């Protein structure tokens, strides 16, 4: 394994691990705050119980999120010192603001988790609201950094034999507000609510199937379906904005996402299919004529650039990107369908739907959001390859000269496996202890 | 004061706060590991209770230091993180293990598992500060700046000087934690136990401080010269010594609130003294504050962002500590009267 490969795997692993906790860290506080608000309004103790039990799970997930995030902030330098030396000053203001968002989040999380009996109920609820807001804000800020890697802005650069890559005329604000920022931040934030909402809905649906009629789980299901469902319905709209941003600023990534090898007008939308990069075709796909041109540019006759128009060395691994994109869109469609179904049932039945088939669908749908998040990030990050900063710096240039990275890759992989298993076991015991959750241990 | 010097001072302040608060959380882990005797369980409970609500906030100071470093002094960040790749990676493993184990312990339903998490929390709490100190020691020796593009061999960061600095760091953290813990409990017996631990560790701190100074003559002579070069150096040394003696005296007289204040001053002065000795270098012998600073526009924006952030951060932190740490102030009067 080359050093570059090891570094990429370690980065992918660490980010793929952290994002699971980050997503929950953004959305779960909002669910807790809504439950607590319902308690404050109605005085119904079930809502308070709900907020308290969600908070217990959140405490575990936040701790792992915080430590895995700490690893990441060092890892950017440990693995990609060339990248950080170049971009640190350009994107640092975003990271700096993010640091304060983390501070607010950690402070008010401490108050929220340990302060139930120490401050007034309204102050406690406000602390929860602050956690929810600062969590979302920290996500937006870090994603803006990633958006900058995709659509770099706010600097000029020169490359020379003697000095290598140099930046000048740095404008950190323009870097923060780069062209992809709005689309990415919106899509990511919605993804967090959709994925967490439907995940929680699925879990409570499963518990409700086991012990039907438990009021606690019915309320929990209702709340999570509201939050997750609304976000899941908006997600394809925001995905369309993302896709058009990619089409404008990263034509190679768009071509890889769609398995588009030839430049053409009336380009078809491909559903499924397997790209063959050597032959330069995508086989076995269901093609909708003109669909891609229409979706990417809102004009069926628009020209879409194909991969073959770009030098071989500038093309990302098209199979991975195309498949990951298909997985994300498939998950998104299923989640949207589930949300529509829930909406219809609730509207007709005037209450939280609890038919066994619907509960089973929720249970089966619960992992889809997290799968979509991982797949979406694979599209974004692998689709940017071979660039670490699109069209400015190659990933190979940025990697650390320290040899033997595979050792650290193996070490971190084992560490994450250990943490992941522990978290699952601990959360399971938390759910077992919930009302009607089965024999408490 | 130039903007880059101001940023360096902010960075040092964040590092100081990390040592004073995050460091003490590590030190608490040391006392968890060393909990002995009939009251071992109540010692552990006290520790868990004391750091539970605040550890995540205390930990963010470290992240702020890292962010400031790579934004404002990018070559320093790139150099340090490349040359010290191995000890930094090990330190991160320690941070991950103890942070997550601390939380797992609180939520694991079975007693046996809780005891296991306890060990996963306590052992990295001892090792991580040693690694942190070794990293600082290696930088102070001037080994990092010499070949910025290669990882240093183990022998470079495992030499006697870095190891002694590592142990010194650990002893400071343990000392701080013991002093803070005297104020966390109402139980006079527990208080006495942590008073004894604080006194014992203050002696270790003193001994190791001497060892660091002694080894530095050989291994980091520039540091010693730097400290002697200005009148400030002498002043800081006198002040540090005074604070140390005052902390010990206050502990002896059971004036715990005074002991806490003086111990914090002592630790802060140690850090500022080291920084003063090393200035204007961030990484001797090559990278100074001025030579490694990011462009002026970045510095100004960062100072603006810091000012903005601070207006939110400061009241939030005060609120947090008021909710969870008021009891450590309220009982001052009572705890000053010696036990019969
Ligand atoms: C709940 C999760 C989820 C769901 C249901 C979807 N996505 Fe997504 N998508 C993400 C979660 C996500 C993500 C993980 O959050 C990404 C990675 C980077 C980003 O900004 O969002 C992403 C990236 C991403 C990108 C790449 C952006 C870039 O490279 O800059 C595009 C074009 C889309 N998405 C499009 C869609 C479309 C058309 C969907 C229609 C159903 C869709 N996504 C559903
Ligand atoms: C899109 C990707 C990311 C999102 C949405 C995200 C979001 C979050 C959120 C919401 C938290 C706090 C919640 C929790 O602790 O569970 C968190 C923690 C953290 N993240 Fe990320 N993050 C992302 C990627 C990164 C990256 C690339 C870095 C490194 C630069 C990073 C650094 C951190 C740090 C240092 C923490 C710990 C803060 C603390 O101690 O409270 N994150 N992240
Ligand atoms: C948390 C959600 C994220 C996930 C799951 C994710 C996933 C990935 C993956 C799979 C790779 C490897 C790509 C390859 O080498 O083929 C990668 C690389 C990388 N990502 Fe992300 N990413 C996330 C967010 C971010 C953010 C917010 C940043 C910016 C701070 C970032 C910075 C990087 C860097 C610097 C690399 C290495 C260079 C490269 O391969 O281009 N990532 N990420």
pLDDT at residue A438, rounded to an integer: 46
C-alpha A139 to ligand 2 mean position (Å): 7
* CB atoms A59 and B103 under 8 Å: yes
**Model confidence over A60-87: pLDDT tens digits?**
899 899 889 989 988 998 999 889 888 8
Q: Which CB contacts under 8 angstroms, 24+ apart, belong to B207-216?
A: B208/B164, B208/B167, B208/B168, B208/B171, B209/B168, B209/B270, B211/B164, B211/B168, B212/B161, B212/B164, B212/B165, B212/B168, B215/B160, B215/B161, B215/B164, B216/B140, B216/B161
Of A77-91, A320-334, A343-357, B163-177, least confident by mean pLDDT is: A343-357
Contact B25, B56 (CB under 8 A): no
- From chain B, the residues in CB contact with A106 under 8 A are 56-57, 59-60
Mutate to test the interface with A, among B52, B70, B144, B298 (most CBs of A within 10 A): B70
- The pLDDT, as a whole number, for residue B171 is 94
Question: How far apart are the C-alpha atoms of A300 and A292, rounded to whole Å?
Answer: 8
Nearest by CB to B60, from A59, A76, A102: name it.
A102
pLDDT at B89: 92
Query: Would you state the pLDDT for residue A156?
Result: 85
Which pLDDT does position A204 carry in this prediction? 92
Q: Are strands A281-283 and A286-288 parallel, antiparallel or unpaired?
A: unpaired
Give the per-residue pLDDT at B337: 43
Per-residue pLDDT tens digits of chain B, which is 340 residues long: 788 888 899 999 999 999 999 998 999 999 988 888 788 888 888 888 888 888 888 888 999 999 999 888 988 888 888 889 999 999 999 999 988 888 888 887 788 888 888 888 889 999 999 999 999 988 888 878 777 777 878 887 888 889 999 999 999 999 999 999 988 888 888 888 889 999 999 999 999 989 988 888 888 877 887 777 777 888 888 898 898 898 999 889 888 888 898 989 989 988 888 888 887 888 877 888 888 888 888 888 888 889 888 898 888 888 888 888 877 776 544 444 444 3
Among A60, A73, A99, whose Cβ lies nearest the Cβ of B107? A60
Give residue B340's pLDDT.
39
Categorize the per-residue pLDDT at A397 as very low, low, confident or very high, splitting at 50, 70 and 90.
Answer: confident
Chain A residues close to B295, C-beta within 8 Å? 89, 170
Phi then psi dihedrals of residue A156, to 5 deg: -120, 155
pLDDT tier, A252 (very low <50, low <70, confident <90, very high otherwise)? very high
Nearest CA of chain A to the CA of B62: how many Å?
9
Terminal alpha carbon distance of chain B? 54
B199, two tokens: 């006194």
Sorting pLDDT into bands at 50, 70 and 90, what band is A169? confident
Q: Is the link from the previous residue into B99 a cis peptide, with omega within 30 of 0? A: no
Tell me how far CA of residue B26 lies from CA of B31, B55, B129, B193, B212, in angstroms.
Answer: 9, 10, 7, 18, 21
pLDDT at A131 over 90: yes
Its pTM stands at 0.91
Q: Report the distance separating Cα A95 and Cα A148, nearest Å.
A: 12
Query: What was the pLDDT predicted at A440?
Result: 35
How far, in Å, is the centroid of ligand 2 from the Cα of B144?
29
- The pLDDT of A368-376, averaged and rounded, is 96
Range list of H helices, A211-301: 215-249, 251-258, 291-297
Neighbour count for residue B231 (Cβ, 10 Å): 8
- Band of residue A437 on the pLDDT scale cut at 50, 70, 90: low
Q: Which of A75, A100, A403 shows the shortest C-beta gap to B312?
A: A100
Q: Would you state the pLDDT for residue B331?
A: 54
Instruction: Average the pLDDT over each of A164-168, A357-361, B174-178 and give the range with the smallest value.
Output: A164-168
Residue A24's pLDDT band (boundaries 50, 70, 90)?
A: very high
pLDDT reading at A364 higher than 70? yes
Backbone φ, ψ for residue A213 (5° rounding): 85, 0
Residue A59, pLDDT > 80, answer yes
Residues in chain B with CB shorter than 8 Å from the CB of A68 are 96
Chain B interface mutation, best of A11, A81, A420, highest count of B Cβ atoms under 10 Å: A81
Nearest to B18 by CA among B142, B121, B172: B172
Report pLDDT for A402.
85
3-state class of A120 per DSSP? Answer: coil
Under 8 Å CB pairs connecting chains A and B tally to 200
Whether the CB of A135 sits within 6 Å of ligand 2: yes
Check pLDDT > 80 for residue A45: yes
pLDDT of residue B327: 75
3-state secondary structure A258-281: HCCCCCEECCCEEECCEEECCCCE
Choose between B72 and A160: higher pLDDT. B72
> pLDDT, tens digit, for every residue of A267-308?
889 888 888 888 878 888 888 888 888 888 888 888 888 888
């Amino acid at each position: 394994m080359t050093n570059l490969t090891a570094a990429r795997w370690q980065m992918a692993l660490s980010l793929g691990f952290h994002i699971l906790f980050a997503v929950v860290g953004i959305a779960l506080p909002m669910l807790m705050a809504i439950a607590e608000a319902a308690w404050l309004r109605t005085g119904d103790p079930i809502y308070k119980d709900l907020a308290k039990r969600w908070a217990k799970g959140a405490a575990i997930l936040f701790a792992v999120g915080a430590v895995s995030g700490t690893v990441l902030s060092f890892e950017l330098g440990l693995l990609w010192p060339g990248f950080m030396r170049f971009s640190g000053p350009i994107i640092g203001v975003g990271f700096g603001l993010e640091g304060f968002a983390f501070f607010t989040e950690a402070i008010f999380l401490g108050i929220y988790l340990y302060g139930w009996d120490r401050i007034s109920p309204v102050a406690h609820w406000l602390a929860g609201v602050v956690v929810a807001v600062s969590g979302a804000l920290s996500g937006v800020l870090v994603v803006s950094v990633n958006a900058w890697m995709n659509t770099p802005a706010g600097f000029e650069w020169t490359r020379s034999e003697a000095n290598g890559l140099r930046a000048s005329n740095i404008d950190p604000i323009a870097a923060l507000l780069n062209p992809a920022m709005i689309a990415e931040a919106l899509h990511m934030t919605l993804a967090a609510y959709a994925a967490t909402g439907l995940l929680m809905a699925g879990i409570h649906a499963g518990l409700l199937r086991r012990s039907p009629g438990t009021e606690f789980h019915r309320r929990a299901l209702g709340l999570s379906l509201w939050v997750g469902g609304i976000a899941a319905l908006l997600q394809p709209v925001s995905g369309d904005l993302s896709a058009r941003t990619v089409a404008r600023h990263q034509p190679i990534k768009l071509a890889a996402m769609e398995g588009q090898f030839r430049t053409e007008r009336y380009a078809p939308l491909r559903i499924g299919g397997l790209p063959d990069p050597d032959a330069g075709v995508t086989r076995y796909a269901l093609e909708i004529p003109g669909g891609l041109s229409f979706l990417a540019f809102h004009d069926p006759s628009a020209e879409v650039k194909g991969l073959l128009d770009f030098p071989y060395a500038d093309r990302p691994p098209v199979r991975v990107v195309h498949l990951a994109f298909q997985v994300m869109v498939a998950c998104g469609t299923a989640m949207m369908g589930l949300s529509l179904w829930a909406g219809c049932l609730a509207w007709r039945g005037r209450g939280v739907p609890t038919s066994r088939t619907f509960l089973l669908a929720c249970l089966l749908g619960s992992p889809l959001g997290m799968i979509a998040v991982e797949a979406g990030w694979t599209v974004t990050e692998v689709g940017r390859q071979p660039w670490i900063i699109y069209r400015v710096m190659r990933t190979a240039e940025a990697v650390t000269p320290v040899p033997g990275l595979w050792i650290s890759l193996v070490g971190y992989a084992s560490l994450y496996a250990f943490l992941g298993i522990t978290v699952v076991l601990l959360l399971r015991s938390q759910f077992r202890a919930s009302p009607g959750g089965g024999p408490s241990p | 004061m130039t903007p880059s010097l101001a940023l360096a001072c902010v960075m040092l302040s964040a590092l100081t706060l990390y040592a004073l608060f995050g460091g003490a959380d590590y030190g608490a882990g040391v006392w968890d590991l060393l909990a002995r005797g009939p009251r071992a369980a109540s010692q552990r409970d006290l520790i868990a209770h004391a750091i539970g609500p605040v550890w995540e906030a205390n930990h963010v100071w470290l992240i702020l230091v890292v962010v400031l470093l790579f934004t404002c002094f990018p070559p320093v960040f790139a150099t340090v993180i490349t040359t010290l790749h191995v000890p930094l990676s090990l330190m991160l493993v320690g941070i991950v293990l103890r942070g997550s184990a601390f939380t797992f312990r609180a939520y694991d339903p079975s007693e046996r598992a809780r005891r296991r998490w306890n060990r996963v929390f306590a052992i990295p709490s001892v090792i991580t500060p040693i690694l942190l100190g070794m990293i600082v020691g290696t930088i102070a020796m001037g080994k990092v700046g010499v070949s910025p593009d290669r990882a240093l061999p183990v022998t470079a960061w495992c030499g006697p000087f870095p190891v002694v600095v590592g142990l010194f760091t650990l002893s400071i953290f343990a000392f701080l934690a013991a002093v803070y813990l005297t104020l966390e409990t109402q139980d006079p017996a527990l208080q006495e136990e942590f008073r004894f631990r604080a006194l014992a560790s203050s002696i270790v701190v003193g001994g190791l401080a001497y060892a660091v100074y002694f080894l530095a003559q050989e291994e980091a002579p520039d540091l010693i010269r730097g400290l002697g070069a200005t009148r400030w150096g002498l002043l800081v040394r006198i002040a540090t010594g005074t604070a140390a003696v005052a902390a010990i005296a206050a502990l002896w007289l059971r004036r715990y609130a005074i002991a806490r204040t003086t111990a914090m001053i002592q630790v802060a002065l140690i850090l500022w003294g080291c920084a003063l000795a090393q200035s204007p270098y961030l990484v001797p012998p090559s990278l100074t504050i001025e030579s490694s600073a990011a462009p002026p526009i970045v510095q100004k924006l960062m100072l603006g962002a810091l000012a903005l952030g601070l207006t939110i951060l400061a009241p939030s932190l005060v609120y947090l500590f008021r909710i969870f740490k008021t009891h450590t102030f309220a009982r001052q009067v009572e705890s000053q009267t010696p036990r019969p």
